[in-house]
Structure 1
Amino acid sequence: MFESIPSADAVLLKWILHDWSDEDCVKILKRCKEAIPSKDNGGKVIIMDIVMDRAGDGQDAAEVKLILD
């Protein structure tokens, strides 16, 4: 796991990082950095995830956040 990511101009991580520990997220992101060109050459890591409020916005708001893509 986390061995390699194919070379690309951009890496998209959609709903990935929330399932991993901080240490594993760092490993994943380092592998992403290795797979893309430098920032000056247009390399990008795109992260799409959701942040849930621990205090809670209420059940309805939480459900809406969870079903959105």
Structure 2
Amino acid sequence: MAHIYTITPETLDPLQFAYRPNRSTDDAISIELHTALSHLDKRNTYVRMLFIDYSSAFNIISTLKAHH
């Protein structure tokens, strides 16, 4: 497992927060908020953001069907 951790940081996107040590959703929100606010400092610009919560997206899959 240690070997995987030594080679993956080079291949992962720098904005990947899931399944990485010392990263959280708070970090992702902070970076996105900073990016949006920095963009809004420019004249005649606007920001569009879409937030999707997938936390319970797969709870609807029937466990009986998944076993077959």
Q: What's the TM-score once normalised by structure 1's chain length? A: 0.34
Structure (1 or 2) with the greater strand fraction: 1
Q: What's the TM-score once normalised by structure 2's chain length? A: 0.34
Q: Which has the higher contact order (CA 8 A, sep 6+)?
A: 1
Whichever of the two has the greater Rg, that structure is 2
